[in-house]
Chain A
């Protein structure tokens, strides 16, 4: 089991600063999670640290492709605006 970073990543580096397993690397302008090292923070923290600090909705997924921060979960709703 491991998390992964999608193309919704905004390249802000936050995840790398909080990963307890040094599982995240910056490779050619993209952040990638090493599936061998990622533990989803089980045993260390109550919630995966990368997903707890990531500011971009949909940028971090679990192994089933589900977003840990789904659309609308990180930003306040705007009246009358449509989800993009």
Chain B
């Protein structure tokens, strides 16, 4: 079996927030917002907005390297027509595509005619798609009416401080009402417009996320204040992003030696912010032209030169896209983690209490993949104490908390009950059978349960 063994827990538990989760129903199928959605749905960033109306000290617009994965970076700028074609090509290849966003490489609202033309074309072609935009907030408020009319449901505003003195150290200038402004004047305009945008968007029913770049030593104490103010305005979620300050990128912060925050600093500031607003813990700081599931970038497959040669049947793609989206919403496209007690790695050949490690598989009912090997202390030492409520048992059950089922040769009465209480289905009917076939059968059963539950609800 060619599956890869990951040293730690599964990829799913490596992401997601340790703090307050956002329960807004509008985030449920958005791969960037919901930690449950980002293994299931795909997103596409369209690089149609090249111009920018601000300079940020963490951005160097000259930099464009396709090995880099970070915001503001893009390999080619598309016209609205080319972008619409790209959406169609991606929806054809990846029908799980649920979100199309415009995040630059400049600012979506500094290129409003291109941005709005793109949104219109995309929405007309594939109405099931969610549209989202990302901005510094400077030029958003005048377009909020049109956003609502276009059906844009998510806007991200990057806000790094409430204080003009601090903003002046992050932004050297802004372009506003036909003039370049600098220093404190620029900072005051920017902050005013950002909150005007946030208020107008939430009032119009648009989901608002605030991104903040954490620049240690500069805006540490600003971030909780931003969270508090945003919460009062109905903003849904706050995303603290670590500063990227590699000098090789040529940004002002990179060149002047401004350091990035440590993991501990990020965690600590997120905890402070979580007192006010749900925090996003799995942002991948994607490129402005990212394509695919979160964490992957299949942009190269859909580069302009490949797009030209494709024959795309818009009607057929739209029909299939609508069907796949509906099925995903109905609970299809889900996958489960299933634990297996096996010594030889081929068959289910161990008692639950004897296993010194559990093999963790992931399956959607169609394929099976080994995702982790979890070591554990075998809690049962022999028939004399088998089934006793040992202290090791709760720990063991806890270590399998993310699994939907556990497959073993035998499972004692006490652990059976504990597993069931933890929502993990104990399964012994596949004793000594092949792992792959058994995991597949269990996943298929889980899938049937979800589909039944959904039919009942509908």
**Interface residues in chain A, defined as those with a beta carbon under 8 Å from any beta carbon in chain B:** 10-14, 16-18, 45-47, 49, 52-53, 55-56, 74-76, 78-79, 81
Contacts and interface: CB of A to CB of B under 8 A. Distances in A.
B179 interface: yes
A14 B180 contact: no
Contacts of B457: none
Ranked nearest first, the 6 interchain pairs of A and B with the lowest CB-CB distance are: A14-B51, A13-B50, A53-B175, A52-B180, A13-B51, A10-B62
A53 B180 contact: yes
Contact of B255 (A16, A47, A81): A81
Nearest to A16: B51
A14 B77 CA distance: 13
Contacts, number: 65
Interface of B: 50-53, 55, 57, 61-62, 77, 105-106, 110-111, 113, 172-173, 175, 178-180, 252, 255-256
A17 B51 contact: yes
A69 B45 CA distance: 32
Contacts of A17: 51, 110-111, 113
Given A12-B106, A74-B172, A53 B252 contact: no
Given A12-B50, A74-B172, A79-B256, 11 more contacts: A13-B51, A13-B77, A14-B175, A17-B111, A46-B178, A49-B178, A52-B178, A52-B179, A75-B55, A75-B252, A76-B172
Contacts of B57: 76
A56 B60 CA distance: 10
B52 A46 contact: no
Given A12-B52, A17-B111, A74-B172, A56 B178 contact: no
B252 A14 contact: no
